[in-house]
């Protein structure tokens, strides 16, 4: 767990293990896979799995959930239903207070006051996102994530046509900026991050109407299309880091099973945070079953693209329950 948290903060993922570092079951499977490396059978199997029709089950569920959640805020305000009040940063749902953990932290640091409504709201949210685990908020709720997903598709299309290149930043940049935003809140007495957070900007724009801040969001998306794919979510946004810590020990998790994996790497190519899938590389899994780290957004795209069911959502103690 400590190693996966360090990777989330920006450290390089662990190297390929030595023979003594494998569990007995993993060592046996790796030896078998090593014996067939390069054989025509494995090449044919990889080609066959890539020719299969891909399921988008989890992607479709995720998109539907994200759109419905954000629409509830919009419709509740427009029709004055008052079932869902506020925005994603702070809201009240059926009388229960909800407050984004990072936004609440920014407010308390800026104003040097602990507000009881924020404590209640963060408690509710903390329990919910701990249960779901990882950065579930990012891919299942955040409206910017969805827009960034479409921007990434455009970036990849342009890259395939040799029109653009990706210029990745160091993943530790997000950790440094997390500290910077916290210090700015303390020193300035102002929630600096909240003023530039595309999550809050988009949520408020959908509910209360558009403003000039949307130009900032548009600029971010253009940057991600032409310069660095998923730049905000990967290298800047402290919200994901906060929820990564909260969901590090969650009962719901994505797990990897070594046995049937062909190690072709399609899951890593698709993943927004591919460092969490290092164990899918040939010879990297230390055990037969490995839990994916807390930086995972739980988007389910790796599960959709894996035809051997080597990746799955699981509840601890209830294998393949989901």
Could you report the per-residue pLDDT of 182-192, keeping only the tens digit for each? 999 999 999 99
Helix (H) or strand (E) holding 59: helix 57-78
> In whole angstroms, what is the distance from residue 215 CA to residue 88 CA?
20
* 120 pLDDT higher than 90: no
- Do 233 and 121 lie in one domain? The reply is yes
Q: How far apart are CA 110 and CA 218, in angstroms?
A: 27
- Say if residue 235 is in the same domain as residue 132: yes
Q: Give how many domains the chain has, as a whole number.
A: 2
More confidently predicted of 107 and 42 = 107
Q: What is the dihedral of CA 128, 132, 137, 138, to 10 degrees?
A: 160
pLDDT at site 183: 96
**Interval 125-145 mean pLDDT:** 91
The answer to whether residues 74 and 222 belong to one domain is: yes
In a domain, 293, yes or no: yes
| 171 vs 1: which has the higher pLDDT | 171
Percentage of the chain surpassing pLDDT 70? 93
Residue 38, pLDDT above cutoff 90: no
**Closest listed residue to residue 88, CA positions, set 207, 195, 188:** 207
Mean pLDDT across the chain: 89
Asked whether residue 112 falls in the same domain as residue 149, the answer is yes
Is the pLDDT at 118 greater than 80? The verdict is: no
What is the DSSP-derived secondary structure letter of residue 91?
A: E
Residue 30's domain spans which residues? 2-8+17-54+251-315
Burial 201-212 (b: 16+ CB within 10 A, else e): bbbbbbbeeeee
Residue 321, in any domain of the structure: no
**Mean pLDDT, range 102-127, rounded to an integer:** 85
pLDDT band at 174 (very low <50, low <70, confident <90, very high): very high
Tell me the residue ranges of DSSP E strands in 106-171.
none
Instruction: At 171, give phi and psi (nearest 5°).
Output: -65, -20
**Pair 101, 236 in one domain:** yes
In the prediction, which pLDDT does 243 show?
A: 92
Please name the residue that has the structure tokens 């779901």: 132
- Model pLDDT, residue 39: 61
Domain boundary among 224, 245, 266: 245
User: Which residues lie below 8 Å from residue 115, measured CB to CB, with a gap of 6+?
Assistant: 107, 108
Q: Which of 245, 270, 286 lies at the terminal end of a domain, its last residue?
A: 245
Q: How confident is the model at residue 133 (pLDDT cuts 50, 70, 90)?
A: confident
Please enumerate in sequence order all residues whose Cβ is within 8 A of that of 4, keeping only pairs 6 or more positions apart, or say none. 248, 276, 293, 294, 295
Contacts of residue 41, Cβ cutoff 8 Å, sequence gap at least 6:
none
């Amino acid at each position: 767990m400590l190693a996966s948290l360090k990777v989330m903060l920006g450290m390089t993922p662990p190297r390929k293990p030595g023979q003594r570092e494998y569990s007995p079951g993993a060592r046996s499977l790796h030896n078998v896979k090593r014996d067939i490396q390069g054989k025509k059978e494995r090449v044919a199997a990889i080609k066959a799995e890539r020719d299969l029709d891909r399921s988008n089950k989890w992607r479709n569920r995720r998109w539907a959930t994200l759109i419905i959640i954000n629409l509830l805020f919009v419709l509740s305000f427009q029709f004055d239903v008052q079932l869902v009040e506020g925005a994603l940063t702070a809201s009240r749902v059926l009388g229960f207070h909800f407050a984004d953990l990072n936004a609440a932290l920014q407010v308390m640091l800026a104003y040097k006051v602990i507000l009881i409504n924020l404590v209640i709201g963060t408690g509710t949210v903390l329990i919910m996102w701990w249960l779901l685990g990882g950065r579930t908020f990012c891919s299942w709720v955040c409206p910017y994530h969805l827009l960034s997903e479409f921007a990434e598709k455009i970036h990849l299309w342009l890259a395939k046509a040799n029109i653009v290149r990706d210029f990745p930043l160091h993943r530790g940049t997000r950790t440094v900026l997390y500290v910077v935003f916290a210090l700015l809140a303390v020193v300035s007495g102002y929630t600096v991050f909240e003023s530039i957070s595309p999550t809050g900007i988009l949520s408020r724009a959908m509910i209360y109407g558009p403003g000039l801040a949307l130009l900032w969001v548009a600029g971010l998306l253009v940057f991600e299309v032409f310069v660095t794919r998923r730049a905000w979510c990967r290298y800047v946004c402290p919200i994901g880091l906060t929820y990564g810590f909260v969901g590090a020990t969650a009962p719901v998790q994505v797990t990897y099973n070594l046995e049937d994996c062909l190690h072709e790497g399609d899951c890593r190519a698709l993943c927004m945070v591919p460092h969490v899938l290092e164990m899918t590389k040939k010879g990297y899994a230390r055990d037969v079953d490995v839990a994916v780290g807390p930086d995972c957004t739980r988007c389910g795209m790796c599960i959709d693209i894996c035809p051997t069911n080597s990746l799955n959502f699981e509840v601890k103690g209830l294998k393949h329950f989901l």
